[in-house]
Amino acid sequence: MEDLYKHIEGLGREHGYKNMTVLCKAAGVPRSTMSELNNGRSKDLSKPNAQKFADILGITLDEVYGEETKKAPTQEDEREITFDDFTFAMQNESKDLTEADKQILLSMAKQLNDAR
């Protein structure tokens, strides 16, 4: 997966990280993980580590993996919201919610699921 390594390294440079070591440190991903990927001893990057890169770079998991993000058919220049986007938003936004608010959100999600 040398291509993935180079892709992530390039993304890091685009976002101001001078090299992979600096990017790994900022993201909290062991440098050895990326060395294993670069040297072919690892075939892929784990989703948790990829998410760390996505978070630090402000991009989606699809972008970390180099996958093209689809645009929503109804809105010009908008991409499709993925489950990862929703999960990340809920994780970030829900940390300041009360338990009662969290229960309301859970109830709403269950109602939406039942309605489908």
At 113, list the tokens.
């699921």
- pLDDT for 110: 82
Considering the chain, what percentage of its residues have pLDDT values greater than 70? 74
> pLDDT class for 80, splitting at 50, 70, 90?
low
Q: What pLDDT is recorded for position 16?
A: 92
- In this predicted model, what pLDDT tens digit does every residue of 102-116 receive, in sequence order? 788 788 888 887 887
Nearest Cα to 15, choosing from 62, 53, 52, 70? 53
DSSP string, 74-110: TSTT-BPPPHHHHHHHHHHHHTTS-HHHHHHHHHHHH
CATH class of 2-64: mainly alpha
Q: Would you list the domain boundaries of the chain?
A: 2-64, 83-115
pLDDT of amino acid 101: 82
pTM of the model: 0.58
